[in-house]
Chain A
Amino acid sequence: MSRGAWWIAIACVVAVVPAVVYVAAGGRDFKPAASGNPCDARKWPSVDGTDQILQQAALSAIDGAACKLGVSSEALGLALTSQDKLDQFAKDNGISQSEVEQAARAGLLRAVDDGEASGEINGVTAFALRIAAQAVPIDRLIQLVRDQVYG
């Protein structure tokens, strides 16, 4: 190996060491936390009072609707802050009114599922809520979720 080749080999080692150390220190993962899968069940924390139950239910409903629409829960959550944002969100993502309706109902069913799985909603109430989810007018359903999350 020539002297020049040795210098180049040494330069390669010196050049690579900091990048390797930075990757080992978490450099490749130093980015915003990725959105969770909205289709995964949401484990409700131990809740106390109707307000907290409704808030958890609204968050589960957003997850369920986002799962149905194939978008992130956070993007849908931001869109729900106002009707204008929701309309823009539907336009940007090519979502029709009937898809919004299906998503909202899927969201409510998901909230019932998560609540029942967490033991906060009993079987009888869950059965009644599932029937209601199929019958409640869609605009009331969206308003209910918006009221619970954003007041």
Chain B
Amino acid sequence: MSTTETPTTETQTTETQTTTAPVELKKGHVGQSIPRKEDKRLVEGQGIFFDDVRRHGMGYVHFVRSPHAHAKIVSIDVAAALALDGVHGTLTGDEVAIQTDPFFEMSTPPGNEIKDYALAVGKVRFMGEPVAAVCARTRELARDAAELVEVEYEPLDVLVDAREAVKNETIMHEDAGSNVVWSGVFDWGDWEAAKAEADRVVRIDELHFHRFSSTPLECSGALVEYERASGQWTLHCNHQMPGVGAIWMAPALRTGLDKLRFVTRDIGGGFGNKICLHPYYVTLCLLARKLNRPVNWTEWRTDQHTANAHGNERWFHDVEVAVKDDGTMLGFNVKALDDCGAFPRYEPLGCIIWAQVTAGCYGWRNIRVDFTQVCTNKSPVSPNRGYSRMQHLWLTERIIDIVGAELEIDPVEMRKRNYVKTEQMPYETPNGCVYDSGDYARCLDIALDLIGYDTVEERKAEAAARGKLLGLGIGSTLDSGTNNFGQSQLLNPELQFSGNNEAATVKLDIFGEVVVTLGTVPQGQGHETTASQVVADILGCSPDQVNVRQGHDTFFNSNAGFSGTYASQFAVTGLGAVKGAADLLRAEMIQLAAAVLQCDAEQIELADGFARVKDGPPEAALPFMALGAIVNANNAFLPPDFNPTLNHRFVYRPYFGMLDNEKKTGKLTLTYATQIHACLVEIDKETGVVEIVDYAAVDDCGVRIHPQIVEGQVHGATAHAIGAALFEEFVYDEDGQLLTSNFYDYHVPHALDVPALKTAAIESPSPFTPLGSKGMGEGGGGGIHCICSAIQDALLPAGRPLVYDSCNPYHRVWSMLQDPESTRANVEVISA
């Protein structure tokens, strides 16, 4: 463990209510909240989302979906649909089974024997699973025709509970012969020794992290064109990870990667929910080829909720925590049971991604996790903001608060005693991950300050006088970013993925315009703006002079295998690539200017849009336009051995080193942004309704390229967490019918549900990244942990119930108020 000191500087403490308008540009653009390049088109309604793209003769696709959660398909009859005037054609699972191969599965046997096709083949395994697709002249006709497709089903027993599925009494995937997708034990440090050393062992029978998703406002979809002559498909779409999407799709379609061109422009939110679109997109590719026409599919909201992508649900069983009497945590031992729904798709990666934050914010050294993932007859999952780490961090935060409650140690004291200290950074965790920088205790102090920690006792008394219960909550999380895909080999050593990469190009064009292309796929994160800031600082010009092309295009030549926007990494991988390409261009511009101005390269500086001789006469300066024109259009005088291109591509590749597949240790990710949340909630004893009365989030993501964008991400992640903690839950009945399939029943926060959020930031630069920045968009579910913590604290005077579920709508809180004992029966403290 190294004790290298990391500089930490507090740069801003702002209440959001007083956020100021963007400041005037200073010399360096990085670190300034400059106006976003994206905004003008978006506030004018001139953004281009996939459904805004039209093609001549385009047909509209509607999916025929299963009403059953688990059933054999006896027959499908499309004749009536085809007979309807205006219907272009249909596609069924039988055609899919002939024309495509099953998607690549990442698990080990038997999980990798699961057969996943674009449409259901032989049987359906979740409500809403597509069994056929219809393409017609209008959206309405496609829907009418889908109603005419007759499907005969033979219902089967349904699995909606992972705890039942793991028993394998009903099998969902006959090819695999088991509902278990993956299982394995992670054992770091020495759990048995920790247990022996402990003064107490706290045992928690069961905790449950519920099923929800971030439900981006724009649903999924694509316009797919097929070019018969070349066999190439172009997908105008909103896939947020096209590099990996193509790796799934091309082999299934029996074609080459370069035959799949993904084009994205504006995307209406993603949050991970637009990563697993390959089954739908393969169906569209087949239809476009079969019908010889462009096809559009725009998902309906109810379909998005029912059958696209939920977040992972996870149970934690037999949790044992080894603790000293003073609250020092020695370690924990847990059985995790993850529910990935009907098909694994991106899974079983969630069985390892959590391990990036194994220890959470804490210094415990002995951790044992017995992890199992199973299929159930529910919607498949997809990475969802905070993916897999959020579930695990919720566990660590619940442990801290439940153990604290049992030992009667103050929650602030519990955390501060166990936090990894800033002087320990970079800190190597028990599983070999390295926390790059941070100061958790300081972030907590700031958060507590913002919510008036000093007056909490008075406010509790004041609330009690009004018949309300007031509680303080804390959520401590790490937003791990820039993941090492090598961790997939800890699940399956046969997988050929490791490391990470991202590409960008930067060129100087003939009229002096700097043009940047990205491999990333922004969905609101402001990549055009932040990339222009980095390039402007390197080339010595204004961000206005830098044109960052909108969106992603496979044909930009700025793609790497892991291109996409996911896993909190743009500020590292995306901007690392941009910086690398801009550095190359800068060096060449200097070399060219020195050749033209006949001086040494060291004498040239790039500033104010010129390459000029430092302290030279005004005429010893070339505008960017002159450099661009020389290379592109007026190059006869350049010597034969000097061939500048002013067009550079750079692939940024973080260095991780090798993992130990046996011990399951190593650097699983590069950066760790900190999010410490604190809040006060007030609970109505009569109804169980929880009101957030004060809320603060403190972020530390190293160097902030654009503080306003960082703060916006904090707001958004917090709002998602508030929704998840209090309202949002995908609830299934025993027949596998989803009861919360649209925004009526699945309540996402509205403007009146989100309080005025207070934010602050400190900057602990990452020593491992090109700009000292860290990815930070996911937030680690800080708000969920924080609100669960606050509810438990508020309920202390009402029989001390313990919060055992991550979702606490009023009826669950009301139940805890009625029967606190039943939650306490879940926990046992064994003294040594």
Answer yes or no: do A and B interact: no
Query: Residues of A at under 8 Å CB distance from B?
Result: none
